[in-house]
Amino acid sequence: MTDSPPEGPGTEVGRVLGTADATPLQFWTAVHPGSYLQLDDVVVTRRELPDREPVTIAGVVTQVRARHEGAQFDSDVFAIADGTLPAMVQEAAEITTTRVDPEFYVPPSPGAVVYRAEGEARSAALHFDRMERRVPMGIGRDGVPVFLNADFLDGSRGAHVSISGISGVATKTSFATFLLYSVFRSGVLGGDAVNAKALIFNVKGEDLLFLDHPNSRLDGPTTETYAKLGLDAGAFPDVRVYAPPRAGDSSGTPDVSSRLSGVDSFYWTLTEFCADRLLPYVFADADDERQQYTMVVHSVAAHLARYAQPADGGVSVDGVRINSYPDLVDHVVEQLTDDETRSEWAGSAVNMGTVNAFARRLIGSKKDLARLIRGDLATRRPHSVNTSESAQVTVVDLHNLPDRAQRFVVGVTLKTEFERKEKAGTAKPLLFVVLDELNKYAPREGSSPIKEVLLDIAERGRSLGVILIGAQQTASEVERRIVTNSAIRVVGRLDPAEASRPEYGFLPAAQRQRALLAKPGTMFVNQPDIPVPLCLDFPFPAWATRVSEAGAAPSGTLRSITQAADPFAVVGGRAGTLSDDDIPF
C-alpha cells in the first residue's frame, strides 16, 4: 500500500487508528503531534486495493478526544504533569463518512494517512461538486463557504425548510431572511429570480419592517464575509409592507409606530367575508375542530355566501343592512337563537346547546376581528395582500393583533395565495412563505382550517411552486407530515428536553450536545445529499433588523427617535428595540 494522497487533498493531520474498529461509514484517526482536528473539520484518506482503482474515503469530524497513553490511574495525571511518570498525550478524532469514491464500500486501512480536505477535495467530500446550483448558506468552521443544493429548495427534487430553536437565541427569523436574500441574490434561480416572490409574516415587534433599509451597523469584516459567499452586502431592494388598520380608526391608517411610509393597510370587506366563506377561519384554533359546533360554522358560512348582498361597503342579509363585523355577528346570533330561523341558518339537526357554544365563540371574536373585517372603508381601494401584484418581498405585520386575529390573517392569506397558485397551474414564479411559530398554526394534535392549508402546502406546494420556510421553537409539536416533507432541516440553539426528541434524530450525538450551547448565528443544516448535518455561521444581516439600524432611509420613512412609540433598549451593547426572536450576534 502507498500513502501517496489523492491529487491535492490538503495537509496531512494523522493516520487511521488501529486500536479502534474502522468501518466504511465510521472510523477513528490519530492526530499527529503538533496538529489538531476540531469538530466539523473535513478529512480525506485513501484505500489501495489490489485488483481495482484506489477508493477515496472522505468524512466530517463528529467527535474529538484526548488522553494520556501510559497512565493507569486517574491520579497519574499529576505525576505526568510533574514529569515523574512517562506518558504521551494522544488526540483522536471520530470521522463519519460523507463520500466514498468510487462507491466501493471498504474500511480505510489502519495506518493510512489522513489529510485535512481543502479546495476541490473539500468540495467533493461535502458533495458541493455535484450541486449544479449552489445557494450560499454561511461559513463553515474551517472558514470556507458552505452551500445548500437549490434543487432541494425550489421544488426540483424537494422543497420546504424547517427551522427549530429557542426563541430569542436561535435567530430563526434572521436565518430565514438570510436564506431568502441568498436565493434571490446569488443567481441560482437565473432569470426566474426577477419574478420569484416571498411572503413573510411578521409576528414579533417591527423588526421585519425595514428589510429594504441597509443596516447602518454593517462593518468591514461582515461585508467581507458576504463577498466570500459571493453576495453583495445590502438590503432587499423591493419590499412592500402591509399592516392592519388601527383599532377604532375609520380612515384605515396602518397600525405601525416606527415606519411612516411604504406601508399599506390590509383588511377584508364584509362582502368578501361572506362571499369567500371566511367564517371558518374565525374558528381557526385546532381545538375548535373537535367541537360539534363546527357544523354550525359551515352552515352559517354557506348561508351568508348564498344570501348576503353587497350594499355600499356593507352587506344586506335577509333585508337587514349590516355595516360592521360586530353588527354581522349580532345578526347571526339573533337568527340562530330565533326558533323560526334557526333551522334555516344551522340545519334542523342542531340542538340549542351546540348553537350556544357557537354563538359564545362568535361573540368573543367581535373585539379581535372588528378592525380586519370592515364595512366602512372604501371597497375600491387596494386592501388585499396579493403577492402577484406586489413587490418581490411582501411583509404582513401581525405583531399588534391578538392571537385569534393573527390566525385569521395567516389562514385567509395562505388560502388565497395557494388558490391563486392552483389556478395559475404552474410552479413558476416561485413563492416562498416564511412563517414563524409554526407549532401554533399547525400543531401535532387536532385540526383546523389553517393546518389543512399548511398541510396542502407541505404535500402539494412543491408542484405548485409554493415553498414553506417554517420556524418553530419545538419541531416535536408541529404536525409530523409538515416536518417530514421538509427537505431542509435547520437547528439553532435547542432546549435540552427538546433536543432529546426523535425529530432531531438526524443530528449526531455530538451535534445534539453542541446545539445546547450554540451561539446566535450558528446553525446545523441537514440536506438530503449530505449524510452529516453541516455546522455553519451565517453573517449578520446586511439589512436593518430594527428601526435603530435603518440607514439611508427614504425621506419620511422613519420617525425620529423622539417620535418612536417604543423607547430604545440596549441589547448586547447595541441600541435597538428588543426582539423576542432575534438577538444580534
**E strand intervals along 373-435:** 373-374, 393-397, 431-435
Domain assignment of residue 148, yes or no:
no
Question: Beta strands 134-140 and 145-149: pairing type?
Answer: antiparallel
Kindly report the pTM of this predicted structure. 0.88
User: What's the grid cell of residue 481?
Assistant: 407530515
Q: Are residues 567 and 432 in the same domain?
A: yes
pLDDT at 552: 57
**Grid cell in block for residue 86:** 512517562
Q: Average the pLDDT over 433-459 and give the result.
A: 91
Decide which of 324, 339, 374 is a domain's last residue: 374
Model confidence band, residue 572 (pLDDT cutoffs 50, 70, 90): very low
The pLDDT of residue 455 = 94
Residues 241 and 296 in one domain: no
In a domain, 122, yes or no: yes
CA distances 309 to 168, 299, 341, 517, Å, are: 47, 17, 19, 59
| 585 vs 362: CA distance, rounded Å | 44
For residue 33, tell me if it sits in a domain: yes
Same domain, 251 and 354: no
CATH number at residue 433: 3.40.50.300
pLDDT for position 4: 46
User: Is residue 584 in some structural domain?
Assistant: no
Half-sphere exposure at residue 388, Cβ-oriented, CA atoms within 13 angstroms = 13
Which residues neighbour 67 within 8 Å (Cβ) at sequence distance 6 or greater? 89, 90
Q: Check whether residue 539 and residue 473 sit in a common domain.
A: yes
pLDDT of 582 over the 50 cut: no
How are beta strands 161-164 and 314-317 bridged, if at all?
unpaired
Contacts for 542 with CB less than 8 Å, ≥ 6 apart: 181, 214, 215, 218, 222, 223, 226, 233, 234, 235
Q: Are residues 447 and 363 in the same domain?
A: no
Does residue 138 sit within a domain?
no
| Domain-ending residue, one of 350, 374, 398 | 374
Considering the chain, what percentage of its residues have pLDDT values greater than 90? Answer: 66
Looking at the structure, tell me whether residues 222 and 364 fall in a common domain: no
Q: Evaluate whether residue 2 is within a structural domain.
A: no
Residues 335 and 406 in one domain: no
Domain extent at residue 310:
268-374
Same domain, 254 and 177: yes
Query: Are 43 and 125 found together in one domain?
Result: yes
Residue 377 pLDDT exceeds 80:
no
Using the predicted structure, report yes or no on whether residue 51 has a pLDDT greater than 80.
yes
Q: At 407, list the grid cell.
A: 390566525
Residue 581 belongs to some domain of the structure: no
Q: Please indicate, yes or no, if residue 39 is contained in any of the structural domains.
A: yes
Q: Which residue reads 409530523 in cell numbers?
A: 480
Q: Whole-number mean pLDDT of the chain?
A: 87
Last residue of some domain: 374, 409, 438? 374
Task: Answer whether residue 384 shows pLDDT above 90.
Answer: no
Whether 255 and 389 map to the same domain: the answer is yes
Query: Within 13 Å and on the Cβ side, how many CA atoms surround 564?
Result: 16
Does residue 297 share a domain with residue 242?
no
- Same domain for 438 and 549? yes
346-367 confidence digits (pLDDT tens): 877 778 888 888 899 999 999 9
Domain count, the chain: 3
Cα distances (angstroms) measured from residue 92 to each of 59, 106, 148:
14, 21, 30
